[in-house]
A and B are shown apart, each in its own frame.
Chain A
Amino acid sequence: MQSSSRHPAGSSLTKHRRGGDFGSYGRGLPALSMATVVAIALALALVFFYAPLEAEEGFLQKIFYIHVPLAIVALCGFVIGGLLAIQHLRTRDPKWDFRSYVAIHMSLIFALGALITGSIWARGSWGHWWVWSEPTLVSFLIVFLLYATYQPLRFSIEDPERQSRYASVFAITAGAFVPLNFIAVRLSSAYLHPRVLGSASNLPGPMRLTFLVSLGAISLLFVTLCKYELAAKHTRAQVRALRRRLAGEGVELPRRGRSAAPSATTIAAGRSGA
């Protein structure tokens, strides 16, 4: 509701360019990108040249520094998507739905990465591509399968307002499901296999430092990619809005490709129709 006061209806081109809260998506992106590149380079250097070889698994264990941060960041992204969705339902400002969508979309990609690296790790250390005795991996798969229905849900609702509202309800439910599911699956399985590293707290010093730097680097990567997606989608929406204005009112421009993202009209307008 604040944005509507700052953002009156009859917006000229210059007003539109500043675009209220939406204009800030690209700000600081070059610096953030540089920081991400440096952090990832530093993390990789630490992983390969500083962290000691693990006694039992040797070199293979180094995938831990990629796999676990990917999984943690993906899960946090899912929960953040839920929190942003709460904000959307409270304020009815479509920008929160837009952010929630981007957080969940990016988390899905990170989660896929975590599943693939986890599977490689399991193959290397236990001899199987998939193990059911590792509760974290199993609950991760369940969460991934649930979130895989987020985009189909958005696709199959036409009305943009209802699409964003239903997507938020889903995002909150699924966000609450993430921790509950982990508890339930962990309860269900005994620890048949020795767990290399349960949490960061029982790591030896150099390994812990490497892990924390990797976690920071992957988190930065997540934030940077989210900002890129926000900026790109928002710019595309604005271009569409401008093109529509050039073509004249009531002309429907052809859509290229299919996307489950919040509709261009609501992103560019920056507020709901209410």
Chain B
Amino acid sequence: MSARAEAPSRGEHTAPPRPAARANPPSLAATVGALLRKELLVELRTLESVPGMSLFAVTTFVVFHFALNRNSVEGDLAAGILWVTLLFAAILGVNRLFVADAEEGGFDGFLLAPVDRSAMFLSKALALLAYLAVLELVAVPAFALLLLGPSLGQAMPGLLAVLALGDLGVAVIGTLVAGLAVRTRARDLLGALLALPLLVPIVIGGARATAPMFTLTHATGPPGRWLLTLGLYDLVFGLIAFALFDFLLED
């Protein structure tokens, strides 16, 4: 706890360039904004995560085509393929989320700055959320083009709602798991092993909510029960991850 108190006096050079930073530390929103801008800038310049995730998703659809020997899928099967593919693509992003910080001293720089530690969790979760949104911008049209039997037109609003809730959960859990796994010896293995069981409820909710929208008759929108389940799961794990993430950042 003492490190927290003395941090402001040590690390003024890493604070965001604001004249008031010396007297009172920047607000949480400003810190999150600055960190998020850094994340997105790093991703834009290195292109390490998002293109790989998107390419992986498209390739997986091709693999599914040959593995299942089907030209088009619908209903349960379509929802399952979409969610499994998005999940595995997301895990690629999760595994890379903190690698630069662990290897290039990003954690040290952040810990020296006189800012709230929660900003790290929020900015990383928002960055992962943005990666997932871009991934889906590529993967969902590719899925509709390559594999999906029924057209997406009518299902679009419902699908967007389900994807948004699913992404939120994946972002929150993925950030916590990435933080847990990044400074271990078996980093890549542990990230996937920890994330998959924790994400099973997201897959259940997402796939069950998506399945009725992928039927040939366009029977219904997403069932409210599953949206509610996803939302509650996101909320609970958001709070847990927010509360626990600080403990991963103490050295």
Chain A interface (Cβ < 8 Å from any Cβ of B) = 89, 142-143, 145-146, 149, 152-153, 155-159, 161-162, 165-166, 168-170, 172-173, 176-177, 180-181, 183-185, 187-188
In the complex, which residues of chain A have a beta carbon less than 8 angstroms from the beta carbon of B233? 180, 184
Flag if B236 contacts A149 (CB, 8 Å): no
Known contacts A152-B193, A165-B247, A181-B201; A170 and B180 CB within 8 A of each other = yes
A156 to B184, CA, bound (A): 5
Q: Given contacts A152-B190, A187-B229, list 7 more A-B pairs with CB under 8 A.
A: A142-B200, A157-B184, A157-B185, A166-B184, A168-B247, A181-B200, A185-B201
A232 to B241, CA, bound (A): 34
Task: Identify A187's interface contact among B225, B237, B250, CB under 8 A.
Answer: B225
User: Whole-angstrom distance from the CB of B240 to the nearest CB of chain A?
Assistant: 5
Question: B interface, by DSSP: helix, strand, loop or mixed?
Answer: helix
B186-227 interface with A by 8 A CB criterion? 186, 189-190, 193-194, 196-198, 200-201, 204-205, 208, 225
User: Whole-angstrom distance from the CB of A116 to the nearest CB of chain B?
Assistant: 19
Chain B, residue nearest A174 (CB): B198
In the complex, which residues of chain B have a beta carbon less than 8 angstroms from the beta carbon of A143? 197
User: Whole-angstrom distance from the CB of A86 to the nearest CB of chain B?
Assistant: 10
A188 to B237, CA, bound (A): 19
A143 to B200, CA, bound (A): 10
Task: Identify A166's interface contact among B189, B200, B201, B248, CB under 8 A.
Answer: B248
Task: Identify B240's interface contact among A146, A172, A183, CB under 8 A.
Answer: A172
Q: How many A-B residue pairs have CB under 8 A?
A: 84
Chain B interface (Cβ < 8 Å from any Cβ of A) = 176, 180-181, 183-186, 189-190, 193-194, 196-198, 200-201, 204-205, 208, 225, 229, 233, 236-237, 240-241, 244, 247-248, 250-251
Chain A, residue nearest B194 (CB): A149
Question: A interface, by DSSP: helix, strand, loop or mixed?
Answer: helix
Known contacts A181-B201, A185-B204; A162 and B251 CB within 8 A of each other = yes
A181 to B232, CA, bound (A): 12
In the complex, which residues of chain A have a beta carbon less than 8 angstroms from the beta carbon of B181? 153
In the complex, which residues of chain A have a beta carbon less than 8 angstroms from the beta carbon of B240? 172-173, 176
Flag if B183 contacts A157 (CB, 8 Å): yes
Known contacts A180-B233, A188-B204; A166 and B180 CB within 8 A of each other = yes
User: Whole-angstrom distance from the CB of A172 to the nearest CB of chain B?
Assistant: 6
In the complex, which residues of chain A have a beta carbon less than 8 angstroms from the beta carbon of B241? 173
Flag if A149 contacts B229 (CB, 8 Å): no
A187 to B198, CA, bound (A): 16
Known contacts A165-B250, A184-B201, A184-B204; A156 and B229 CB within 8 A of each other = no
A152 to B180, CA, bound (A): 12
Flag if A145 contacts B190 (CB, 8 Å): no
A146 to B251, CA, bound (A): 26
